[in-house]
Chain A
Amino acid sequence: MMQHYGINESKGLEFGIYTLGDHLPDPHTGERISAQQRIQEIIEFAKLADEAGLDFFSVGESHQEYFATQAHAVVLAGIAQATEKIKLGSSSTIISTSDPVRVYENFSTVDLISGGRAELVAGRASRIGLFDLLGYDIRDYEALYEEKFDLLRQINEQEKVTWSGDYRAPLRNAQVLPRPQKGKLPIWRAVGGTPQSAMKAGYAGVPMFMAHLGGPVDAFKQTVDAYREAATAGGFDPAELPVATAGFFYAAETTQQALQEMYPHVNEGMKRTNGRGFSKQMFAQGADTRSVMNIGSPQEIIEKILHQHEVFGHQRYIAQIDFGGVPFDKLRKNIEIIATDILPEVRKHTAK
């Protein structure tokens, strides 16, 4: 059941926020805040989301220039202490280059600090700098992920684990402590939008966290369909497996204002972190209902999210608002718009 993952569909589509933990200059001013201020603001951002009644907040792990939350579990511990009700997770934890035992210890600790609100999203990294940094071979990219993700899930299922594999010392009746408050953590597979990875999540009966930069809603529907078909083929009931989608979001009074305010952040941020900017044409399409990005006026975003919900039938939408040095007052304003205009409508129309 979805309840197994702490999701209650009678309340409607869950609404969350995620940050990659990027640490970029604000292109409007050229200024970059300190890493300390950025981390403090991420914690404050989570607090605002919690007070506004949002469902989920997650922090990513990227080991490269222009990022500040390499130790994302530590940041999540700070957020756990600062918040009360909101569920917390990673977006994502790079399990390939970490020890699943340590990762589980960290996240079950965050779970205990937060009173049972922790979740874990495990990914493979889109960049490879951390393989050198942490001493892994990029040739093992896929094998590392699959083996460590399996071990992570096994630790979640069993308090005592006997295990052996290729990339970590064997475990013999090893007890991994502390245990999370509800006995288990919701563990998701991070999927970059291609059907292949989604199908692996489906065959294993694991919830899918699908992140995307942009593109047509219909293209991502193929990934969601492939996931559910694979789950069925793997002997799981797709109705019991939650799907989350995550991508760019920015709301302002008018669509024009939203595009004007957000574009420089995305364009300049992508140049620094991905090597190339974001085309204006693509970004302008982000305001169209058929685009998976949610940029626009509150009313347009409501229509877009409802359309996406109709197409994907997903259980959680996660907005990325803070990419590229968006100043904190704009983040605050976005949370306000989500809480007062967007969330009530989305919940009303998606509650089962």
Chain B
Amino acid sequence: MNVVALSGSIAGSKTRTAMDYTAASLQKQLPDADVTLLDLAEYNVQFSDGRHHLDYDGDTGYVVRTIMQADAVIIGTPVFQASIPGTLKNLFDLLPGDAFSGKVVSILVTAGSAKHYLIAEQQLKPILGYMKAEIVQGYVFIEEKNFHQKQITDDDVLFRIDRLVEDTAFRTGVLTRIQEEQDSAYDF
């Protein structure tokens, strides 16, 4: 199983902090899986110009290939201006329209205020649905007050991340079996 923990912003530290814990939790719960922490802040990703996704090279090509090869992606995102950051939207724009087909995608949101709780529901899920993701419907929402000095200070948040990881892993396994069962219906 190939799982990517994506930190979708190049600004701030809270999403990365949460994704560091998420990646560690993934590796702990799935010792045999290939877990990749992909922090967009570490790559120089170009803006989408509409080309075929295989035609991007350098950092952009690496980021696109890493997502395309994943069986599951846990997307970590902050809330900027009542929406997802442009860096994350740009990543979606770099990918083909049905890039998440056959992939389980789950969501972790960090935000300065609880007022942003429905941003993922209303803005991120429609994009993931359009791109054919098998979405884990429940997501982890972490407020600024749960962080201190690049650490998560609330054990409840850690429990919730562990559950999100467990749900992601379980559904990815089941989705693989669904695909195998569907394919086995064809005698070719």
Contacts and interface: CB of A to CB of B under 8 A. Distances in A.
Contacts of A128: 51-52, 55
A129 interface: yes
Contact of B186 (A126, A129, A259, A275): A259
Contacts of B53: 275
B54 interface: yes
A274 B186 contact: no
Interface in B44-69: 49, 51-55, 68
A88 B68 CA distance: 39
B55 A129 contact: yes
B129 to A, nearest CB: 18
Given A276-B68, A281-B182, A263 B188 contact: yes
Nearest to A255: B188
A276 B97 CA distance: 12
A284 interface: yes
A340 interface: no
B32 interface: no
Interface string A281-301: 101100000000000000000
Contacts of B49: 138-139
A126 B186 CA distance: 31
A260 B186 CA distance: 9
B182 A274 contact: no
Contact of A127 (B52, B186, B187, B188): B52
Contacts of A28: none
Interface residues of B, number: 13
A269 to B, nearest CB: 14
Contacts of B52: 126-128, 274-275
Contact of A260 (B54, B55, B187): B187
Contacts of B55: 127-129
Contacts of A275: 52-54, 68, 96
B51 to A, nearest CB: 5
A126 B54 CA distance: 11
Interface in B140-188: 182-183, 186-188
Q: For chain A, what secondary structure do more than half of its interface residues adopt (helix, strand, loop), or is it mixed?
A: helix
A280 B186 contact: yes
Contacts of A138: 49, 51
Nearest to A277: B102
A256 interface: yes
Most buried by A among B52, B183, B186, B188: B188
B182 to A, nearest CB: 7
Contacts of B187: 256, 259-260
Nearest to A260: B188
Contacts of B51: 127-128, 138
Contact of B188 (A126, A256, A274): A256
Interface string A97-131: 00000000000000000000000000000111100
B137 to A, nearest CB: 24
B26 to A, nearest CB: 24
A281 B96 CA distance: 20
Of A128, A259, A263, most B-chain CB atoms within 10 Å = A128
A348 to B, nearest CB: 31
A280 B183 contact: yes
A139 B183 CA distance: 41
A127 B182 CA distance: 32
Contact of A284 (B68, B96, B186): B186
Nearest to B53: A275
B183 A274 contact: no
B102 to A, nearest CB: 9
A275 B95 CA distance: 11
Contacts of A127: 51-52, 54-55
Contacts of B96: 275-276
Interface in B34-52: 49, 51-52
Interface string A138-159: 1100000000000000000000
Nearest to B49: A138
Nearest to B69: A275
A280 B55 CA distance: 26
Contacts of A259: 186-188
A280 B54 contact: no
A298 B33 CA distance: 46
A142 to B, nearest CB: 11
20 contacts: A127-B51, A127-B52, A128-B51, A128-B52, A128-B55, A138-B49, A138-B51, A256-B187, A256-B188, A259-B186, A259-B187, A260-B188, A274-B54, A276-B68, A276-B96, A280-B182, A280-B183, A280-B186, A280-B188, A283-B188
Shortest beta-carbon contacts, A-B, top 5 = A260-B188, A259-B188, A280-B186, A275-B54, A128-B51
Given A259-B187, A275-B52, A276-B96, 9 more contacts: A126-B52, A128-B55, A256-B188, A274-B52, A275-B54, A280-B182, A280-B188, A284-B186, A284-B188
